[in-house]
Amino acid sequence: MVHPDLLQQASLLVQQIGPDLDVESFSQHVVREIADPSRGASRKEWSDIEGPLRGIINTLRIKVQDDVADALEKALSTLQSRRLTDSSAWEGEMAIKMGNLPDHIHFLLSLAQPPTSKTTRIARSYLDKASPSGPTADEVLYQVIMSGPFTGAHWGRGYEQEATHGWTDSESSSSESDADLVTPSTDRISRTADLETLLRGRLIQDQEDRLREAQRSLASFKEKYYWINMGQSFEPLSAHTHGWRSLATRSTTAQLEAAISKSSRIPRKVISSLALQRELLFALDGRPGILFFFDEDGACQILSGHPLVAHMSSAALSSIVDHFANQATIGSRIRRFVAGTASSSAFSSRKASQTSKTHQAFADALQEILTSYAEWIGGNEIGLLRGVKVDEDRSTPAASPMSLKLDLDRHFGTLLSRLDSLLPKPGDPPTDLLNDIYTTILSLPASAAELSEALTRVFIMSAEPMWSMLCSWLSEGMPIPSGLRYHDDTRVSLTDEKPLDKEFCIERDRDISWTDEDFWANGYVTGSGGWPLFLGERTEEMILEAGKARGLLQSFDNAPLKEDWQTLFQVLNTSGDRLLASTVPDLIFDHLSPTCRLTMFQLRRALEEDCGLDAHLDAIESLCFMQNHQVMSEWMSELFQRIGSKRQWTDFQTLSSSIREIIDQHGGTLMNPSALRIQAKKARNTTEKVFDTMRHVRAIYDVPFPLSQVLTPTSMELRSETFSVLLQLHYASHVLAESRKQDAVFISHARTTIDIRSIWQLRQQLNWVIGIFLSWLSRDVIESRTEQYRREITAITSIKGMIDLELRFARLVHRLSLLHPDVEALRAQLSSILELTTTLGKVYSQYMNDTSVASTFQPERQPFAPSKKASNTRRERHFEGDPLSDDEESDQEAELIEGDSSFLLAEDFGARLKFMKNQLGTTIAGMIDTVRSLAEGPDRAPQSAEDDAREQWAMLSMYLDEWHRFQSEPTPRVQAL
């Protein structure tokens, strides 16, 4: 919309320029040109702004940054509402409410940067910002005015409305004191009040008369109540009763039985069947009567000497009474449980804290059934008295005790018996109760559909607390201590996490601390009551993982999962069909698995994006497996030169600081230098064998929490040991390569060409075998397996899966690095070969020392002269920065000779060389046999790291087989090219 001033200004401009022009059309043309965005006008349509903002909101929602999305939506709607308030005032002419302006600006400024956890916090506070509350200015003024004391004239004594008769039918209102009340209208109504008092007096008199009559009638009725007289006495059978007709019409069963048995113990009082039926209903309802009483345990007992039933034998009566006593006991026990447990009872607040929530829920479910039971009893009682059906849903009231029994069995008998058997004791684990109910339902025959339905309802109601805890576990996750939640606060602790509900099926193992590497697996575990059966076995791992993942996400300032959690009833009744208990685990799994997967995905993403899993893995592999060849080769080069010059090299400065400096030179953050260090586990002195010392060198990478749960100290230790092996192999390779620098000197000292070529041959063999091991370990083991590991770990969302994979991988590489006790023999063989490399250097030096001292033998033929290295000019200068100067090298040679092993001093050159060749040959042959047996391994599919390594052992075996070719084929072979 064009500002009206602009059009006006344009009109004035056009008039000034050309009075003859068509002012209107030209003005509009000018305005159009100004407003044209293609000419640089800054104006934008609302849709152009709103569209991208909506897009950002959608993107934020996809990234599950709901808080930021909500906040942005709120800001957008605020903007939109202001726009819609008055479109003409859009240009900023509307009054601005200053109250929330800082919040808007603060939030919008935070969006200028890519969203971080800080942005989320700001968004959250922006969302939660309540509008200014409290009284308005007018209200405050009103309160000030009204707070002053009353100073005006009083209008007199007040009166109660109820004082006027007829206004209320409350009996208490007619107190005598009312007459004393003085009101402004007393005079007006006094006359009608007198009349009404007279009439009321007559009415009361009539009522009292009727009441007295009724009481008289009632007293006469009471005399006939069977429960007062314990039945009605009956006369003995008349002696004149003869024949079946008289017996049937003039006697009762009680009379007959009394006449037949002649027992004095037979009561002489009877009640009618109707009375019996009523007593039975009383008993079922838990009320004592003339037949039953309830003992202290709530068990229904039959009163001795109870009256007979006129037309029922004592055996029949006994059978019925026993049955009902049993049912009444069941009902009573259930009622007592409910009364003792139910959360809804008036005095249960104290008990509720002691009673299990599941038990309470079970009691509530029972209460529901008991209510229905009581209604059924009440219905029968009313029906008994009135003889009519009172409830449309129920069948006709039982007409006799037997029909009552049948009715009871059909509706509640089995159900109550089942429930009675399920009643838990106070200390019983809630999971046991749920399992019992669930298995009871599962064990029901298909025909017991009604019972199954009732029990399922009880089960669902009982399981709701557990379900609620489960939902809480999944939405809030495992409780985390303040130390992980508030990273910046120094007062925080790692032990103050909120306890889980004691009756939850997941519990905290307090023996495991957050810093323990097995915390993820064992910190929170299935409780002692076991995993509830109704959740199904396959959900156990998923739910445990998801809750742990959600808890861990809280430490990344990740909000709890906002989900409208359904009740268990809603979850299990999605289809509306009758629920089959056997399908419960599947329904629950289907319902929970998306949520669990989402949480695990979120954690996986948080581990990658917030914790930098990939970057840490890169750094660890770069260090421990020497995968950053650039940095590690430079570091090793420096280290080996230092070792070569016999300087101290096991100190922190040489091992750790130097690598950090190299990393700094290559870009600082390349391998997270602050987290890594290299150290010799035991302080060694320089006179010890280099390889012995190197065996104790470890590359240590401090993995930050929570990645330390995945990259555990155990796996890091395994990786760091591999570093040691690689270091030794590289050093051996370096020693052999560096020995070439002595070749020229060696040639000049050589007595025979055999000496020269023998030592070169030995060096070539050492070079070959070390090259084989180095390339095999680096390429075929580490590089190949690492690629596979990284592919697999990218696809895993479960932290437990990642932990397992990491440990499996680290153990495999550890084993293939010859570090596992099972391959100790191979490791010893390799160590022997590595030692030979240093021995070779000593032999070189010893030989040259011998020949230079003796200097008696001149070779007949010197095909290698003149030697470039033997020239005197070679010592003229050496470079600054060349750490290994000639002088140092000479010192090194001298020291090597000093440190010679005994065999070097004892034997001559040829014998030494022969000894070394034999040793090398024997060792390599032994290695080949060992590796071949490892490659063949047990004949089964890969199940363990041992089996998994067979492929790599087979590769090594193939490479080493070249030794056999060399050994077995002394004659030249035919060129196959």
Q: Of the two residues 248 and 976, which places its CB atom closer to another protein in the complex?
A: 976
Least distance to another protein from the beta carbon of 716, Å?
21
Structure tokens at 964: 């056999």
Instruction: Indicate the residue among 435 and 767 with the shorter CB distance to another protein.
Output: 767
- CB atoms inside a 10 Å sphere around CB 754: 11
Q: Closer to another protein at the Cβ: 41 or 865?
A: 865
Question: Could you tell me if 343 and 363 are in contact, meaning their C-beta atoms sit under 8 angstroms apart?
Answer: yes
Contact of 367 with 342, CB cutoff 8 Å: yes
Structure tokens at 612: 């930098």
Residue 194 and residue 187: Cα distance in Å, rounded? 12
Question: Nearest distance from residue 482's CB to another protein, in Å?
Answer: 38
Nearer to another protein, 782 or 904 (CB): 782
Query: For the chain, what's the residue count?
Result: 977
Nearest to 565 by CA among 545, 581, 550: 550
Residues 917, 923: Cα–Cα separation, whole Å: 10
Our CB check for another protein shows the closer of 824 and 882 to be 882
Cβ neighbours of 345 (radius 10 Å): 16
Residue among 210 and 779 whose Cβ is closer to another protein = 779
> CB-based contacts of 640: which residues, under 8 Å, 6+ apart?
730, 731, 734, 735, 738
Provide the minimum distance between the beta carbon of 663 and another protein in the complex, in angstroms, as a whole number.
12
* 112, two tokens: 């200028």
Q: Which amino acid is at 597?
A: R
Cβ neighbors of 226 (< 8 A, separation 6 or more) are 232, 271, 272, 275, 290, 307
- At CB < 8 A and 24+ separation, what contacts does 817-823 make? 817/721, 817/722, 817/725, 817/726, 817/777, 817/781, 818/725, 819/718, 819/721, 819/722, 819/725, 822/946, 823/930, 823/934
Alpha helix locations (H) across 166-304? Answer: 186-222, 226-229, 243-250, 253-261, 273-284
For tokens 């009724």, what's the residue? 214
Helix axes 886-898, 629-644, angle to 10 degrees: 70
* CB burial string 565-576: b at 16+ within 10 A, e below: beebeebbeeee
DSSP reduced 3-state for 536: coil
Q: What residue type is 826 in one-letter code?
A: L
CA dihedral sign, ordered 678, 681, 686, 692: negative
